[in-house]
């Protein structure tokens, strides 16, 4: 098991300081990611779901050290990348890539498609001639389903789906092992979303990729993931194989999350599970379980003590005293 782990995250925290103060006691933090540990196997797709402010994007960016984590360790292929200096970190970019939510804003509007896709090659393959690079760009465009003729055009000339294809082409240019997809299909039209999901699935097989798939859309995550991690206020609530998570969710938050999505069947409008209340202010977290303020089964114990993530089934872990 340990050998095919590509990523192992231990006690990762990312705190944003809102109010600086020399007196540490008086500093105001937002704990966007709070003591998160998990592993990802080679060739797996791990879905990360949660509502806004749950820290899923922060987690994604911290994993690549695009944002510097506050504490914790990240092992990539057995090496702790937290000890990397900026040079080693740059080398690491070859193996870990990030696909952003909004393909438009993740491309420099003043650059042509060729320049955009060639950039990672320029950075790491200085030995390639410009002809070779051009061929490589054409090949990458072909892989993501675009014609090489588009090379001289600018991002704004493309539709959302085409842009996401271009961004994906850039993402796989260096043959990475791990791809973090941050809401990569959320901004797309429904009819285009399916195309991109299929493309991601195809690439995964073709290049033996491992995905971290971050999304707020449970249906998409369910479809694409092997395992799913549910985040709430920066902490893992539950992590389980995706079928198990949907058929037998153990954490009350997972249950309400699944219950609150529509079944998409107008004949059978079962009542949605309504989770009362709102997500608490992340600056002012509840003392015990972060979900205790909204949890239908919370007890005094939940409000006082923080439950730890523990096994609750086969490959299934939840942080709840009553799971």
Partner 1 sequence: MSKTILRVEDLSVRFRTEEGVFNAVDNISFTLEEQKTLAIVGESGSGKSVTSLAIMQLLAENGHISSGEIYVDDENILNMSSSQVQHNILGKKISMIFQEPMTALNPILKIGDQITESIIEHQGTGKKEAYEIALDTLKQVGIPSPEQRIKQFPHELSGGMRQRVMIAMALVTRPKIMIADEPTTALDVTIEAQILNLIEQLKSTFKTSILFVTHDLNVVADIADDVIVMYCGQIIERGPVVDIFENPQHPYTKGLLATMPTLEDHKGELPTIQGGVPSITQRPGGCYFHPRCPHRMKKCETQSPGVYTVGQQQVKCFLFEGNKEERNDGK
Partner 2 sequence: MFKKNSFYDFAYRRFTRNRLAVIGFAVTLFFVIMALFAPLIAPHEPSEFFFVEGQNVYDKYAAPSSEHLLGTDSLGRDVFSRLVYGARVTMMVALLAVSISTVIGTVIGLLSGYFGKIIDNIFMRLVDIVISFPVLFLLISISTIMDPSIWIVIFAIGFVSWTSTARLVRAEVLRVKELDYIAAARACGTSNLKIIVKHILPNILAPIMVQVTIGTAQAILMEASLSFLGVGVQQPTPSWGNMLMDAQKLLVLRDMPWIWIPPGVVNLLLVLAIYFVGDGLRDAFDSRQ
Residue 70 binds partner 1, judged by CB under 8 A: no
Positions in 179-218 near partner 1 (CB under 8 A): 189-195, 197-198, 201, 216, 218
Question: How far is residue 106's CA from residue 112's CA, in Å, rounded to a whole number?
Answer: 13
Residue 248 binds partner 1, judged by CB under 8 A: no
Q: Which stretch binds partner 2 (CB under 8 A): 169-177, 216-224, 274-282, 297-305?
A: 169-177
* The one among 167, 228, 239, 275 contacting partner 2 by CB under 8 A: 167
For residue 273 the two structure tokens come to 């599970």
Residue 192 binds partner 2, judged by CB under 8 A: no
Q: Rank residues 158 and 232 by Cβ distance to partner 2 and give the closer one.
A: 158
**223 binding partner (options partner 1, partner 2, none; Cβ < 5 to 8 Å by kind):** partner 1
Task: Answer yes or no: are the C-beta atoms of 188 and 161 closer than 8 Å.
Answer: yes
Residue 61 binds partner 2, judged by CB under 8 A: yes
Crossing angle (nearest 10°) for helices 130-143 and 160-172: 130
For residue 42 the two structure tokens come to 């080679």
* Residue partners of 16: CB distance under 8 A and separation at least 6: 29, 30, 32
Residue 162 binds partner 2, judged by CB under 8 A: no
User: Positive or negative, the Cα torsion across 205, 206, 211, 215?
Assistant: negative
Q: Rank residues 109 and 266 by Cβ distance to partner 2 and give the closer one.
A: 109
Residues 230-257, buried b or exposed e (16+ Cβ, 10 A)? bbbbbbbbbbbbbebbeeebbbbbbbbb
Positions in 111-130 near partner 2 (CB under 8 A): 111, 119-120, 123-124
Q: What is the DSSP letter of 255?
A: H
Residue 107 binds partner 2, judged by CB under 8 A: yes
Question: How far is residue 38's CA from residue 24's CA, in Å, rounded to a whole number?
Answer: 29
Question: Strands 178-182, 96-99: parallel, antiparallel or unpaired by DSSP?
Answer: parallel
Residue 51 binds partner 1, judged by CB under 8 A: yes
* The one among 47, 55, 60, 161 contacting partner 1 by CB under 8 A: 161
Q: What is the DSSP letter of 68?
A: -
The site string for partner 1 over 7-36 (x = CB under 8 A, - otherwise) reads: ------------------------------
* The one among 17, 18, 28, 66 contacting partner 2 by CB under 8 A: 66
Q: Which stretch binds partner 1 (CB under 8 A): 60-68, 115-123, 269-277, 285-293?
A: 269-277
Strand extents, DSSP E, the chain: 5-19, 28-41, 45-49, 71-76, 79-80, 96-99, 178-182, 210-215, 227-232, 235-241, 310-313, 316-318
Interaction site with partner 1 (CB under 8 A): 51-52, 159-162, 189-195, 197-198, 201, 216, 218-220, 222-223, 243, 246, 256-258, 260-267, 269, 272-276, 278-279
């Amino acid at each position: 098991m340990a050998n095919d782990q590509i990523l192992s995250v231990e006690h990762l925290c990312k705190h944003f300081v809102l109010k600086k103060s020399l007196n540490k006691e008086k500093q105001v933090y937002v704990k966007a990611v709070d003591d998160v540990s998990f592993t990802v196997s080679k060739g797996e797709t791990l879905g990360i779901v949660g509502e806004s402010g749950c820290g899923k994007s922060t987690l994604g960016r911290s994993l690549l050290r695009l944002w510097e984590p506050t504490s914790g360790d990240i092992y990539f292929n057995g090496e702790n990348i937290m000890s990397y200096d900026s040079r080693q970190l740059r080398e690491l970019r070859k193996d870990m890539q990030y696909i952003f939510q909004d393909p438009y804003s993740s491309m420099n509007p003043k650059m042509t498609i060729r320049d955009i896709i060639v950039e990672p090659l320029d950075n790491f393959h200085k030995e390639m001639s410009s002809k070779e690079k051009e061929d490589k760009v054409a090949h990458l465009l072909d892989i993501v389903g675009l014609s090489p003729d588009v090379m001289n055009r600018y991002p704004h000339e493309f539709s959302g789906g085409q842009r996401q294809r271009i961004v994906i082409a850039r993402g796989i240019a260096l043959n990475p092992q791990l791809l973090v997809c941050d809401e990569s299909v959320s901004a797309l039209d429904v009819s285009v979303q399916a195309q991109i999901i299929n493309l991601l699935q195809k690439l995964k097989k073709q290049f033996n990729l491992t995905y971290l798939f971050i999304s707020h859309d449970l249906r998409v995550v369910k479809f694409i993931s092997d395992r799913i991690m549910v985040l709430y206020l920066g902490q893992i609530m539950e992590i389980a194989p995706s079928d198990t998570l949907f058929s037998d969710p153990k954490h009350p938050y997972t249950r309400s999350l699944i219950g609150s999505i529509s079944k998409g069947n107008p004949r059978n409008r079962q009542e949605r599970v309504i989770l009362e209340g709102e997500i608490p202010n992340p600056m002012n977290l509840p003392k015990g379980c972060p979900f205790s303020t909204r949890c239908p089964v919370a007890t005094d114990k939940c409000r006082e003590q923080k439950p730890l993530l523990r096994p609750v089934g086969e490959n299934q872990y939840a942080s709840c005293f009553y799971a």
